[in-house]
Each structure stands twice: as structure tokens, then as C-alpha cells.
Chain A
């Protein structure tokens, strides 16, 4: 490989050709500050517009300063990252940014986690010499996302994620000059656009311009209300990330502490979404088996591939972009939805209260789940199955608000009867997990044999698109694909449209690496090692479970016996399956 020798801050360094000054400096332990520059390495998320100009450095012989993030190293380059000229320019650029920023840090949802705030602290900003006009945009609320464009610093990370990674394009730079800002086109609100509410824009926003709708107040209110009972469920990916909010290393598994914390906060019933993930496998698996059998018997009308439908952003995506293909995804509700439907019927009956008196709350790594809660079809008589959903970050705030010493909290168990789960359920939290869980059950049901090995390594990994052929002896060589990122999902949809999709079964997750990097998770600030640690932790949690297959979950077996009958029964269909709508026209830009 060609290498380049150069000098940075009076030290010689040799780097491969094509390395940026920023990367070269980084490997020498020189940390040049950045803002717009962003990359979640290996996870397809990146943004290199070279727009904020915070990372400018002085290069000998160059007329102006060079942005370190996008300037490639050249032979014999002499770079000064900390010359007075570079520092003055960097500071001035930062002051300019702050001169059009609300600077209301104390009330900001990003307080303490804001990259602009820490940069201002590092650069020792004590006053902003440039006074002048301030941007004034209305703050927008949607079911999932709060958009405060006044805080936008035009880093364009959200735009890159929305366009390049998700292929949605709900937000982008509008206006020019001083009023330029990232927003939906034509002054629309997000709810009027084709936004799928994946919330990855929030996950990458360096400031508080994009944040989740906060429901912590509702939680405290309902817990304090003596007239209602509260039941909470916790999604798989939450347990491998929440610890980060309390200073634990990424990948810490805090399942028991979460159960204990939720009880300490005061929820009456602390259940587990993992339980309903197992239920999902029963329903989705049964549906899949039915479709495979029809397909194998030559049924021309059967929709193959069957696609997963757990991810709410993905559901929004096909309703808005590919409604004509909406019969391909499984009709099975998401685990959150199945849990909600069960808790408001079976469990409310069991404790003898009307569904309206049982407040069902979910803790999710996701902001699109907030939107899912508001879907009319996921409820009965105007009463939602899940009253509201809070994110991992909101849970962390609740724990802190309730004065709980999370780090020293003794572990507890989830309540019964909706608290027991298997290893197949916890892997729902990563890309490939739903596929693997389904394969563990479907293969055993289709062959009638016990699997010699439950691990389907073929579908694991962190590549955006993975495909595998899974032999199901005597039945089918099952061609499967696992994708994350809606751009990749779009590719599969286009294949289906063109009639050349080679797969039988496809799993789609919107977020990078699956729910472990959902938009409701603790901020990673571009550190991919955090995602990898969560990924590893999920599989560790799976290995540590005594039961690894959904159909072996005793509480699942009993709910079918007691309530649903069998997978795919009429009652199951009524409560555990849903329908999808054509929302394309509604969001046509021309409208």
C-alpha cells in the first residue's frame, strides 16, 4: 500500500494514502475537534460535508486553512493543528455558531450530552462577541420526534441519515444563507411528510435540535394515580444499553436491575417484552410456515418472501413507500403490540379491572414505537393497547428522578405471567435476531426434529445486507436475507417489484445493527465500539438463557392453553395480528 509521510504538530507520521488529516492526527493522539463530521464505522452511517469548519488546521504553503476531516494527507505536508491562526479561526467559527444558537443549555434535552456544549467548554468560550439576528423557527412536535430548528447547526448529519442511510428524505436543507436549516420541505411538519419516525436523526444530532417526545411526566402521573394500575414492558435491546447511562461500560447486561428499578419507580406490574417476542415467533413463525407450505405446493398467489414486521419504522416505510407490496410483511404485530393486546385483555381480565384502568407502558430502544402506540388499529374502543412508550434514555432519567442508585441496585425478576422469556427473544434486539429466533422454531416445527444446534451463525453479523441459505432437511433450502437500514430494505422491495427477489424470508430493521442502536438508546456519539459491545452482549444474554427457543417458553405454552388456543387461531388473529394501510398518496409531495 502507498503510504504518505507528513508532519503534524512537529511530529512525523506515516499513513496510508487517502487518510485524512483528522484520522492521521487521531492515530497520533491528537484530537482535532469536529462537529459535522460523523461516522459510525462499519455501520453505514456517515456524514462528511466539511461544512461546520470547526476542524480547520493550518497547512504550510496553503492559502487558507484546511478542514482536517476531508483533507487528505499529502506527501511532506506540514500541518499545525494548534497554531494561533487555527485556534483563532476555530474559536471564531464556534462563536459564530453560538451567536445563532438559543444557548438555553439548562432547559435543553441535550444538556450534558451536547457536542456543541462540550466543545464550547473545551474551547473556553466565555462570551460571544457577535450579537445579531437569531433564527426563529417554530418548535415542532410529532408523535415521536421534537424538532427545534433554532438549535440546528446545519451539520447535516440527520439529513445524511435520512437520505443516504434510510432513503426516506423527509428532512433536508431548506432555505439558503442565514435562514438555511434542516427541515421538511415546503414548511411541512414531519407528520405530513414521508418520515417513518425511525428517529435516527435524533441519534446522530450533535445538539438538541432533534429529540424524542418525552413521556416521563405521564409515567410519574399515572404511577401516582390511585385509580389506575400500571403495567410496564421492557424491550430486549434496553437491557444491554441502559447501564451506559449510569457509567457502566457498553455491553453491560442490566436485566435484573431494570426489573428492580421499574418496581422501585412504582410500576404495579413489571413485565418483559421478551415474553411477547417469543409470542411473536409463534405467530409469525406459524404464518411463515403456512406461506412456505403453500409456496412449496405451487400456490401462485402466496406472497414470498415473507418479511418481518416488528420494526415500526419499517412498517411506516412500506405503508408510505410500497403500499402495493404490503401483503409481503407478516401480519403479526410487533412484540410491543402483542404485549399490549394481551395485557389489556387477558391480563386486565385476570386482575379484574377494565382495560381503561390499566395503563400499559413500554420501555423501548426506539422512538418509532411512540408512533406505533398511536395507531388506531392497535387498540380497542379508542383505548390503546400500549398507552405510551418511553425510550431507554427516558427510563434513565426516571430512575435518576426517582433517586434510585441504579449501580448498587439489587437485581429483581420480572413478574409473571408475562415475564418469562427465552434466548430467542432477547436476540430480537439485534439485526438477524428475529430471523434466527424464527428459524429456531420454524425448523423444528417443519422437520419435527430437535435442532442439533440452535445457533444460526449465518444470519448474524453487522453488515447491512446478509444473505444465507438455510437447509431445512426434507422441506426446503430456505433462502433468507437480513438487512438493516431502509435503503437496503428498499433494494429488496425493488427486487420484489421487479419479480426477481431470490429470498423466501427477509428480516428488516431500520436502525444500524438493529434495535441495539435504536433512536431511543443512549447516545453513542459516533463510537461504533459501543454498538459492537451491545451486539456481543445480546448474544451473551442469549447463551446464558436456560431456554433458547420461543416455543419452549412455558409462559407461552400456557397462554395458548389458557387464552389464545393455538398460534394463528381466530382469537390470536384478532388480537395478535394487524393490517397495513396505503399511506402513499397521503404523503405525496405534490399534494
Chain B
């Protein structure tokens, strides 16, 4: 008898922690007992991402999704479901909103949480085959625009869709195009795609360009049609060789197919696209800096106005959009603004791609509708905190964003709610932190990034951020004072108030948001010289428990700085002034007498 049914059991970290392996043992036992080993097979899978309700068991082919399955449930699953074909109702997932149990996982909220619009073709088509793209409506939107719509109508449609820039600030895309279209009519203009993705841990744009380059090319051509530009430039960091290769292939194919170049689809519209490589400076994601870099100048921002729409690349009107923004354009044209604007919140329409990372089970790239809560992202899509640890904060918006906490978990996320909560959408980095993360150290990490990536043009960012970092370092080194905390606040606010560009103005956000949300931790570092997460090495203290110490002298012999004293068979002590917190004694002690506080 061939295997007809599969019983999938989650073997991910979360479910294993809740004893899924015992479920597997029990299920196998039951199969043997009922002589069903040829009929059904137990398969341990990767994480379902639904760790909060683990262990998860899924029955194939009918896609029945059981949650919180205990070893004792195995008998019932085999006897009822496998043998009699009756679903075990009490183990089914109950949708919290409807209070209805759901059996087919396709109908579960969890799997509905993600919606791929920008990523619609990623992982589906061969990105190096233009015909596969065409098969998925590639260039159909461009065709529609060129043959059926005036530029003004296209812009109107984009405006109506409510699409906002996915690069971070969320400026309405349609409005941006409109301004560029009305600027210096008749002159050479440029369409620029900002692919200078630089947030630590973010790879949304890279994945998009690698998985679906034609959508970006198509959208740029549509933009060119709207604003009156015949040239497009993609500014991409040289560290993305595969994305560059895919783009090169795509541009070549599109030219061969006549979908880029002269007289596209016989409409008389010309549009060509070139690549420009960046050296990976974070600040070049700022549009004026990006333009200067493309011009061969130092990549640093200039004051706006003039906006690129007025005077951009080579001082010509220029429209700059981010990769993900462009990825949404063809869909909006094909499916209509009304469809698009039905997704999301009142002021933030559509979806957002996030690079989910940090202390979370399902690290990955997700695309979710605006308005989803952080809880849904973290606990449902992300599968909860790794190792069953306690959630502490989630950092959104990269180095320009801030940390959100427990209290923000149920806020529907969109551009405005994130700003209101002291962070920002940013380009889509989302880093989850747990109880082992020190929030002062986190602020220091992000600030360290900004200090490295500052262009150095304006004083507050060049010197101010450096001084902020020095103060933070002082605090994590256990040398901070309460006055330092005051200076931290004043300096952060002044930098926010006075820096030239978005990078500088937002650079103190990680500091301010951690100060706002984790003030106690800062104070602890300063007054008690204590780091509750145990991350700040300088604040760690090693102690020998005189009760447990046998006086074996192993620690004293191993200590590289001679900080441990004591005689044989008598309890030893550590001289805190000498201790360099290397941890050697801790490893050497066979009696568990050394503790870290």
C-alpha cells in the first residue's frame, strides 16, 4: 500500500520547545499499533511560523491544521482523523475574530497575513526570462498606459491609489510624479530608481531586483511617460552583483523585445535605462546625495529646495523613487487604483515589504498589508521569539527609526502610526529584540552605524553624532553620570533640530526612542552600573560564592590578570578593580561557585 497521507509535525525551534518530538513518537507509536505505517507517514518539517500555538500538526492532503497538539492527542488524531476521516475539532485553530474553528490552513488568518503585491513574481518566475514576466502581465501596464491613458490619467490613477514612497519618508508617489511632470516641460528629464539599500539587515530591494527586475524597468518607463522623461537611471550599490547582473540581462532583453528603447510598442514613446553603481554609502540613499553621486560628485546631500523634480540629475527635473515603490506601479495600473486602495489603512495604502530579522524564529522577507499589527508580524508570521525568550522591542526604520515596545504591539502599523510611536517606516528593516538585548547597547549600535555613514557635511551629524556615541560608550562602560543622560537628550534634540538631511535629522531616533521607552535601563547603567541584559561587558561583575567555593585554586591559576586571591581549601575572592571580565574563571570553576551579576 502506498502512503496516502502525510502527517506533518513541526520540528521548528518553538514547537520542539513545546515537545513536538514527543508528539512524533506518539503518532508513530499509534501508526504501528494500528498497522498504518504503509498508509500514513509522519514527517517532521521546518517551522510553520505559528510557534505561539505550537506544536503544530498538519494533515496532508486535506490541509488540516492542528494547533497545540500534545503527545496525548496522538491517539485521537490517528483513530479519528486517519482512520475515520473525522477532524479533531478541539485541536483546530480558532480564529480570534470569528470564534470559528478553521481547518484548512489556507483559510487561516495566519496565512492571510502576508500579501504579495510588490513581491508578486519573486520566487515565481525566472527573472532572467522576459517571457515569463510577460506571461505574468509584465509590460501590460506600460502598454495600457501608452495606448489607452494620457500621462495625466496615469498620474491621477497613481494619486488615487494612495501609493506612498516605500523608501522611508512616505511621500505620495502620484504627487511626486505630478510635480516632476509639470516641472520645466519640454526639457530633458530623468527617472531615477533608488536601489541604494543600506539599512543594516535590509534586503527588500535586492530581492525585488533579483526576483523581478522587469517590473522595475516597466514602472520606470511608465514614470518616464508620465513626467516626460526618455532616460532612466538605476542607482544600485556595487555590492549587489547578482541584482546588477539580473538588471543587465533584463534591460538587454527588454531592449531586444522592443519594450525599452525607441518607439516602444509602436507608440512613439522612447525610454532607455542605464545602471549607475554606488560604492555603498548609506547617505547616498538620500535622493540629493544619490544624484550627486551619480554625477560623479561627492555623495552628500544638499538642501531642498530645490527638489530633484525642479533641479536634479545634471540640474534637470528628476523623479527619484525607491525600488519597492516602482514594483507597485504596474499592479496599480493593471488592477486599478480602487483595488489597491482597498488594501491598507486610511492614509497608508497597499502593502509593505519588511526584512524580518533579529531574535525571531522566521527570519525572512515578508510582505504584509499596511495596518497589520506588530504582534501579527512578530508572533504569527515571524513565529515568535527565538528560544521562547521574552519579547522586548522591535526596531523599525533602520538607523533612522526607533524601538517600539510591548505597548506598541497592537498598533496597526502604517507610516503615520510608526512616526507617532517614535519610530518610522523606513525602508523596511525590522529587527526584533528579546530580553537579552541591552537597549543602551542597541542605541549605541545604531549610532555607531550613523557615525560611520555620516557624510560629514553638517556639524550636528559629523561631530554631534560622534559625541552622542561617545556618551553612550561612557554609559555602557559604566562611567556615565546623570548629567550625561541630560546631555544625551539635549544633544539628540539639537541634532534632530539642526542636521541637514534626513539621515542626520533621524540619527538620534534610536537614542531618543530607547530613552523614552527604556529610561530605567539607562538610569540603571548610570546609577547602579548594571546592565540587566548582561550585554555590557564592562558592567558585568564576577563573584565567588564562598559557600560553594572549595578552594581548589583552579580559577586563581587561570586568571590572566591575577585578580583572584585565596588559599588552598579556602574560599577565594575576586578583586573587582583588577578583573577584566574575561570569563575564564567562570569557565574553569567546576563547582558553579562563580556567578555573574
Contacts and interface: CB of A to CB of B under 8 A. Distances in A.
B505 interface: yes
B358 to A, nearest CB: 25
Nearest to A69: B303
A70 B458 CA distance: 14
Interface in A63-83: 64-65, 67, 70-72
B298 interface: yes
Interface stretch (A48-56, A247-255, A472-480, A520-528): A48-56
A570 to B, nearest CB: 51
B129 interface: no
Contacts of A133: 466, 470
Contacts of B302: 49-50
Nearest to A172: B298
B466 A173 contact: no
B315 interface: no
Interface in B425-469: 451-460, 462-467
Query: At the interface, is chain B mostly helix, strand, loop or mixed?
Result: helix
A305 B496 CA distance: 56
A52 B458 contact: yes
A96 B459 contact: yes
23 contacts: A49-B302, A53-B458, A53-B459, A53-B498, A53-B500, A64-B498, A89-B498, A92-B490, A93-B459, A93-B498, A97-B459, A99-B467, A130-B467, A132-B466, A132-B467, A154-B456, A172-B298, A173-B457, A176-B281, A178-B465, A179-B456, A180-B454, A180-B455
A64 B497 CA distance: 4
A235 B190 CA distance: 52
Contacts of B52: none
Contacts of B305: 72
A100 interface: yes
Contacts of B464: 92-93, 96
Interface string B249-291: 0000000000000000000000000000000010100000000
Contact of B459 (A70, A154, A175): A154
Nearest to B464: A96
Counting chain B CB atoms within 10 Å of each CB, which of A53, A70, A173 scores highest? A53
A97 B463 contact: yes
B154 to A, nearest CB: 31
Counting chain A CB atoms within 10 Å of each CB, which of B300, B459, B490 scores highest? B459
Interface in B273-325: 281, 283, 298, 300, 302-303, 305
B462 A177 contact: yes
B582 interface: no
A67 B504 CA distance: 14
Interface in B495-511: 496-500, 505
Query: At the interface, is chain A mostly helix, strand, loop or mixed?
Result: loop
A49 B459 CA distance: 12
Contacts of A99: 463, 467
B524 to A, nearest CB: 23
Contacts of B497: 56, 64-65, 85, 89
Contacts, number: 114
Given A53-B459, A93-B460, A130-B487, A178 B466 contact: yes
A92 B464 CA distance: 9
Interface string B194-236: 0000000000000000000000000000000000000000000
A187 interface: no
Given A132-B466, A156-B457, A180-B457, 15 more contacts: A49-B302, A71-B303, A88-B494, A93-B464, A93-B498, A96-B460, A100-B466, A130-B487, A154-B459, A173-B456, A175-B456, A176-B455, A176-B456, A177-B452, A178-B463
Contact of A49 (B457, B462, B467): B457
A100 B459 CA distance: 10
Interface in B94-151: none
A581 to B, nearest CB: 30
Interface in B470-494: 470, 487, 490-491, 494
Given A154-B459, A178-B451, A179-B456, A96 B500 contact: no
B505 A64 contact: yes
Contacts of A180: 454-457, 462
Nearest to A156: B457
Given A97-B463, A176-B281, A64 B496 contact: yes
A96 B453 CA distance: 18
Contact of A93 (B281, B494, B496): B494
Contacts of B283: 176
Contacts of A177: 451-456, 462, 465-466
Contact of A154 (B457, B490, B491): B457
A96 B454 CA distance: 15
Interface string A172-192: 110111111100000000000
A131 to B, nearest CB: 8
A489 B551 CA distance: 85
A131 B458 CA distance: 19
A379 B463 CA distance: 48
A50 B500 contact: yes
A129 interface: yes
A51 B500 contact: yes
Contacts of A131: 470
Nearest to A62: B497
Nearest to A35: B459
Contacts of A97: 459, 463
Contact of B463 (A70, A100, A175, A176): A100
Interface string B496-534: 111110000100000000000000000000000000000
Contacts of B491: 92, 130
A52 B459 contact: yes
Interface in A271-292: none
Contacts of B466: 100, 132-133, 177-178
A51 B505 contact: no
Counting chain A CB atoms within 10 Å of each CB, which of B305, B455, B466 scores highest? B466
Nearest to A94: B459
A178 B457 contact: no
A100 to B, nearest CB: 5
Interface in A134-161: 153-154, 156
Counting chain B CB atoms within 10 Å of each CB, which of A67, A92, A181 scores highest? A92
Given A49-B302, A96-B463, A97-B459, A178 B498 contact: no
A162 B499 CA distance: 26
Nearest to B457: A51
A65 B460 CA distance: 12
A70 B453 CA distance: 24
Contacts of A93: 459-460, 464, 494, 498
Contact of A50 (B303, B487, B505): B303
Nearest to A88: B494
Contacts of A88: 490, 494
Contacts of A51: 457-459, 500
Contacts of A173: 298, 300, 456-457
Contacts of A53: 458-460, 498-500
A54 B467 CA distance: 18
A162 to B, nearest CB: 13
Interface in B159-204: none
Interface string A120-131: 000000000111
A231 to B, nearest CB: 47
A179 B463 CA distance: 9
A75 to B, nearest CB: 15
Interface string A317-333: 00000000000000000
A56 B453 contact: no
Contacts of B454: 176-178, 180
B295 to A, nearest CB: 13
A73 to B, nearest CB: 13
Nearest to A56: B498
A258 B405 CA distance: 74
Contacts of B463: 96-97, 99-100, 130, 178
Contacts of A156: 457
A175 B298 CA distance: 10
